Amino acid sequence: MQSLRHRDLHSEHEPHVVFQASTIGALLDGAYDGDVTFAELAEHGDLGLGTINGLDGEMIAVDGRFLRADIEGTTSALDVSDRTPFAVVVWFTPTERIEIGGPASQEEVLAAVDDRLPATAVACALRIEGHFDHVKARSVPKQNRPYRPLAEVVADQHVFDLEDVEGTIVGFRFPDYSQGIEVSGYHLHFASADRARGGHVLDFRVRDARVQIDPSADLHLELPSGIDLDAPDLSASTAAALARVEHSD
Ligand code: ZN
């Protein structure tokens, strides 16, 4: 009965509610095997990002499709039975739109998003569709047990450059206070228009783009059991490790 109610609750596809499997803090500690399948994740949203068990690449969720980008930046469809140790998805319901009419850097595009966010928005999901002069992205190699901390794994990340490519960036902006639960600031993943290439975004430059923003006034994280939210690691060392892991190149 309980699982039935659980399913009913989510069949409503409640907008502006972010669903997250596990925490980035757990991932930093080397918890690379989760128990949430992509079939389950797909019940909670159609846009998002994350990784795959064993840290086997970067996950991109776009239009309800769940893709895995390998260390070459080549994407393939994930199987519904594959599992994730960390993922964030939302039923993408944009309320704000920005047209970027000419060339712009990542910094300029994200500043425009910041400007457009309602004052009440503490978080947002976003989708950037356009022609990219350049996307600098990365993926990480599959890990074997015993797992090393994420900061060490990311030292082995593979960085690749996609030039002159049509595609979609999906992702989130989370507030600073969510550090340890989330990657604070922007966390973005890319998939090319043919959905053949992608990865975790380190930098980009658009030629022109359409940005859609789904603001969330209430950071509602729904966590699977086994995650202790009373003790999120908000320490400076976690922040420093995350800065290395998520934003360094
Ligand atoms: Zn990422």
Tokens of 99: 């047209």
Ligand 1 center from residue 180 Cα (angstroms): 14
Ligand 1 center from residue 58 Cα (angstroms): 6
Ligand 1 center from residue 189 Cα (angstroms): 6
d(CA 28, CA 243): 11
**Residue 160 — very low, low, confident or very high, per pLDDT cuts 50/70/90?**
very high
Ligand 1 center from residue 188 Cα (angstroms): 6
Ligand 1 center from residue 8 Cα (angstroms): 30
Ligand 1 center from residue 148 Cα (angstroms): 18
Ligand 1 center from residue 50 Cα (angstroms): 6
CB burial class (10 A; 0-12, 13-18, 19+) of residue 39? Answer: middle
**Residue 231 — very low, low, confident or very high, per pLDDT cuts 50/70/90?**
very low
Ligand 1 center from residue 14 Cα (angstroms): 24
What is the mean predicted confidence (pLDDT) over 112-128? Answer: 91
* Domain positions in the chain: 2-247
CA 58 to chain centroid, in Å, comes to 9
- Return mean pLDDT, the chain: 85
**Residue 233 — very low, low, confident or very high, per pLDDT cuts 50/70/90?**
very low
Residue-level pLDDT at 24? 77
* Owner of token pair 């509610």: 17
d(CA 128, CA 140): 23
CA 49 to chain centroid, in Å, comes to 3
CATH of segment(s) 2-247: 3.30.1330.80
Task: Please say whether the beta carbons of 126 and 214 come within 8 A.
Answer: yes
**Phi, psi for 149 (deg, rounded to 5):** -60, 155
Ligand 1 center from residue 5 Cα (angstroms): 32
**Residue 245 — very low, low, confident or very high, per pLDDT cuts 50/70/90?**
low
Task: Name residues whose C-beta falls within 8 Å of residue 124's C-beta, 6 or more positions apart in sequence.
Answer: 113, 117, 172, 173, 213, 214, 215, 216
Predicted confidence (pLDDT) per residue in 168-182, tens digit? 999 999 877 666 777
**Phi, psi for 95 (deg, rounded to 5):** -120, -15
Ligand 1 center from residue 87 Cα (angstroms): 9
Whether residue 195 is predicted with pLDDT greater than 90 in this model: the reply is yes
pTM metric for this prediction: 0.86
Q: Considering only CA atoms, which of 104, 242, 139 is closest in space to residue 186?
A: 242
* Amino acid, single-letter form, for residue 20: Q
Predicted confidence (pLDDT) per residue in 23-64, tens digit? 777 787 788 998 889 999 999 899 999 999 999 999 999 999
* Owner of token pair 């290395």: 244
**Residue 16 — very low, low, confident or very high, per pLDDT cuts 50/70/90?**
confident
CA 196 to chain centroid, in Å, comes to 18
Predicted confidence (pLDDT) per residue in 202-226, tens digit? 999 999 999 999 998 766 666 655 5
Continuous segment of H or E residues that includes residue 127:
strand 123-139
Ligand 1 center from residue 117 Cα (angstroms): 22
Ligand 1 center from residue 135 Cα (angstroms): 14
Ligand 1 center from residue 3 Cα (angstroms): 30
CA distances (Å), origin 128, targets 14, 190, 206: 22, 9, 10
